[in-house]
Structure 1
Amino acid sequence: MSGKEFTLRYEFENVGELGAEEIKKTPEEEHFGVKWRIQIKHWGDYLALFLYSNVAGNQNIHTNLTPKIFSKNGEKTRSVSESWVFKNRKRDWDSLCWSRLTGWQTMKNEYLDDGKLEVEIHVKIKKMIGFRKELRSFGEEMEQFSDVILKVEDRKFYVLKLYLSTHSPYFTTLFLGKFQESEKSEIELKDIYSQDFQYYLEVLYGENGIDDDTVEGILSVADMFDTPLSVKKCEDYLVKESKMALKKKLELAGNYRLDKLKKMCLDHIKSRADIRSVIPKNPGKMDPMTKRGFTLKWVFEDVEKMGEEGKY
């Protein structure tokens, strides 16, 4: 997605009365399916300005941002420009902070109009990753075709126990085992993102929803819930269709024990330079089989080089 722009504009009141570390924030606004808000803060001797976005799961929003404040008569502005990628950082909202947009006293003397401060942030979205139209609904309209509700974060998914159980031993135990949850009509699932679970269910229900933006999230859920069919579909996609970098593919292969993908990656590595290009910053986190494959290639390269030089 590209070419998306919007402007958030708000007039804060009683700004000069803010004490140290106190904040004011705007109501939320929704643009392009995402909620946004502005916040100001009295931060030491400066005015700090924040832009918040509620990105979720594996979503990323690549932006160019231009925040502005306006003087009393509108003849003077203070602005900066910056690029930023909003993404989920294990909290509800991600934010960018301009911590020293202007001095606090300068703001009070030159920009406040009867205690009011006019703030504007222009947002130009360069790219949105992890956003697409959902291929299948699991909302309330599916209630008559379901027998259990799975709650993930703030979303409810209406599904059939037996269908999920035929694909996942985890759900077999959860729904049909002798546990308290098996008797409940609504069960909360923790430690996963709702958007990843949506994509996971789509694949399980036969939709072709795997792409480079969704595959990692689907794998994480399928691995957690022991769903071999979904894992296989993800691996087939990564082997045959994905345009991901080799380094990322190898990381996924190690994390989710994707042997076919791992073999394909190792087959594409022909030299020490190739090996260096895919080794992560912390090689200790690589799975042992991948490191063993690298070691063997390294040895074979040395042997071939020795042969070319007539040393054996």
Structure 2
Amino acid sequence: MVLPKKEFVLSHTFTDVSKMEKDISVFSPGEEHFNVSWNMSISCEGDHLGVFLHCHKSRGKETMWTIDTEHQFTLKTSSGKAYREDDNFNFQFSNAHSYGNGTTEFISWNKLIKDYLIDDVITVEAAVKIIKTTGISKKALKGFEKSNEEFSDVVLAVGDKEFFVLKQFLAYHSSYFKSLLLGKFAESDQKEVTLQDIDPTDFQNLLEVLYGEPAIDDETIDGILHLAHMYDMSVPLRKCEEFLINESEKSMKDQLKIAKQYQLEKLKKACLLKINTVDEIKAAVAGKLSDMDPTVVAALF
């Protein structure tokens, strides 16, 4: 089963379930998904089994973050029999509330013992969908730090970070860097070049895309598009457009706005092909019609 982006499944087999002490939680091992560690716990809550999802991030006011999730628990036996509640859980984990979320009454203890406990073992799954995050930094997919110095010939200073890169590689992908680093500008002879007013995280993501890493998602794409357009880089622009067409969960309105801003014709056509009803037309309209692409307005009305 191939899961869409921002979704994952935790699964763990718990043993000696009938021997669990009341109000004592038993935890599954932690797993990292989308730069955050997650696990589950079960507990004997009187005459019911409790099941919880846990998100492990730093707590305290110095690190503000939130993760909005939708999750559903499933209990499975070794024979494949499954039990789940119809309702999903919606919860916002944050630096202030990073404790577990779930239910103390997932299934009655008697029903668990009678119908689902085989060899004193049960498997619990949590299907998790991340709806929205703030303050969560992704791990770098490729390093451009000093350890990469022998494979570089220039250092780009961006904010508080240094990127050790090859002039020829950047020049091949960008007319801006071709002129800056290989042209007649003073920077062409400098070992270190400062790029002003650029977000180092966005620049890291842009370089990762150039080097073939899967750095594009709905959170990173705005910064990548901004820099790719600024630096005249066709490869990141094309990859961002492909992501928006095939994988993004951004609204139709946002996608049409992006298509206009960065002249992404394939994205615009893909959006228009998906609009068939009056409600879809209303959803696609972004504020004033005068702010929209005239060709889109003509196609919609």
Q: Same fold (TM over 0.5)?
A: yes
Task: Specify every segment of 5 or more residues in structure 1 that has no aligned partner in the other structure, as ranges.
Answer: 9-35, 38-51, 54-60, 65-82, 87-121, 299-312
The answer to whether 1:128 aligns with 2:133 is yes
* Partner residue, 2:299: 293
Matched residue, 2:230? 224
Asked if the contact 1:254/1:290 (under 8 Å) is kept, the reply is no
Name the aligned partner's letter for residue 66 of structure 2: H
Match for residue 274 of structure 1? Answer: 280
Which amino acid in 2 is paired with 1:123? A
| Matching residue of 1:215 | 221
TM-score, scaled to structure 1: 0.56
Alpha-carbon offset, residue 227 of structure 1: 0.3
- SS state at 1:281 partner: coil
3-state secondary structure, aligned to 1:213 = coil
Equivalences for 1:128-167 in 2 at 5 Å?
128-129=133-134, 131-167=137-173
- Normalising by structure 2, report the TM-score: 0.58
What is the match of residue 193 of structure 1? 199
Supply the distance in 1 between the matched residues of 2:196 and 2:294 (Cα, whole angstroms).
30
Q: How does 1:236-251 map to 2 (within 5 A)?
A: 236-251=242-257
SS at match of 2:157: strand
Distance in 1 of aligned mates of 2:248 and 2:260: 17
Q: Would the aligned equivalents of 1:165 and 1:172 in 2 still touch at CA under 8 Å?
A: yes
Distance of 2:167 and 2:67 partners within structure 1:
41
* Residue number in structure 2 paired with 1:254: 260
Provide the rounded CA distance (Å) in 2 between the counterparts of 1:62 and 1:232: 31
How far apart are the structure 1 equivalents of 2:219 and 2:92? 19
The aligned residue for residue 56 of structure 2 is 4
**1:116 matched to which residue of 2?**
none
Distance 2:221 2:146 in 1: 26
3-state SS of the aligned residue for 1:149? Answer: strand
Tell me if the contact between 1:146 and 1:160 (Cα under 8 Å) persists in the aligned partners: yes
Note if contact 1:4-1:124 (Cα within 8 Å) is conserved in structure 2. Answer: no
Amino acid of the structure 1 residue aligned with 2:97: K
Q: What is the SS of the residue equivalent to 2:97?
A: strand
Flag the 1:202–1:279 CA change in 2: closer, same or farther, 3 A.
same
Q: Secondary structure at the match of 1:132?
A: coil
